[in-house]
Amino acid sequence: MNNKVVIIGASITGIYTMNELVKQDYQGRITIIDQHDGLPYNPYPLTKDWMQDMDKVEPPLIKKAEYYEKHNIDLRLNTKVVAVDPNKMTVTTDKGDVISYDKLVIATGSKLRKISIPNDDADGIFYLRPFTSAKEIKAWAKHVKKVAIIGAGFIGLELASTFRQLDKEVSVLVNVGRPLENILGSDVSDYFVKMHQDHGVEFFFDEETETFIKDEQGKVKAILTKNGKTIETDMVIIAIGVVPNLSFDVEGLDMERGTIIVNEYNETSIDNIYAGGDIVAFPYQERLIHIEHWENAWSQGASIAKNILSNRSSKYLVTPYFWTDQYDQTFEYLGNT
């Protein structure tokens, strides 16, 4: 039995790998290393019910602190991995610690895609991560009326739904194409657009932000687009997607466009190293796909744990599935296009 599992990243995949190991009565040592300083939380309610409850300030924790203590989890927060040595089977952190492993799990997830334009430092401009930023969004939204959202993916549309239900005036800027069209097709995209318009959301299609306009106090007051349109607002939330988050190199690790390539067992190209969640590309119907969703992240974590406990006992053959809640409707999607 392997007695040392190290998990890099307290993401959904990382925590559910840990959770499954504990459920299966794994007796070895589990170490989780994460660059953030707060207990691991579930980011997915942040755009929905958590944001709608204006009095809620605590994060939606995946596990409470007592869980990690009870199960002797070595949780190392505010710690970055700077090197992995597959030959020595060690992980080195920015604090100078060298941690050995028998099995390593890379579950570093994704990081936000950001924009760099004039006046992007104005007060009232936010991204949804980290959790402290989500809290700032909620606090700011209590005192304003107009909300502009840049980006019309699932996160952007869920936020639009949430803020309309909070009686805010919502504008959504779409840089190219139509919302979700590349994933769900034009008919479904049209349905989402009409649903939001029926609830009072104003869309600005084919509008790329040129600059933010701020007032004398340094607060954002409008967006100026490259087409010359001025969109007045009291706050801006930028939701233009994510990119794979891997800040260290691992010699011999097969990659594709920033993601780690894994097989059907979530094994990487290096012995004793697994990976899962937003950071990986995995096989589905004779091709590699990349999915950024909670359902895929947690189920890959559970599968990784089973393979750690019993080598190659759990093939990840799950049909991709995700959902989104907007207004009073839940949408579910199966498959991959």
84 forms beta bridges with 91
Q: Which pLDDT score, from 0 to 100, does residue 184 have?
A: 84
Phi and psi torsions of 211, nearest 5°: -160, 160
334 three-class SS: strand
| CATH architecture of residue range(s) 114-240 | 3-Layer(bba) Sandwich (3.50)
Q: What is the pLDDT of residues 133-175, one digit of tens each?
A: 999 999 999 999 999 999 999 999 999 999 999 999 999 999 9
How far apart are the C-alpha atoms of 266 and 274, rounded to whole Å? 6
Q: What is the pLDDT of residues 211-263, one digit of tens each?
A: 999 999 999 999 999 999 999 999 999 999 999 999 999 999 999 999 999 99
Q: Which pLDDT score, from 0 to 100, does residue 2 have?
A: 58
How far apart are the C-alpha atoms of 9 and 80, rounded to whole Å? 9
Model confidence pTM above 0.85: yes
Q: What is the pLDDT of residues 271-314, one digit of tens each?
A: 999 999 999 999 998 889 888 888 889 999 999 999 999 989 88
Task: Write down the domain spans for the chain.
Answer: 4-111+243-334, 114-240
| The CATH number of domain 4-111+243-334 is 3.50.50.60 | yes
Domains 4-111+243-334 and 114-240 share a fold: yes
How far apart are the C-alpha atoms of 253 and 87, rounded to whole Å? 12
pLDDT at 334 over 90: no
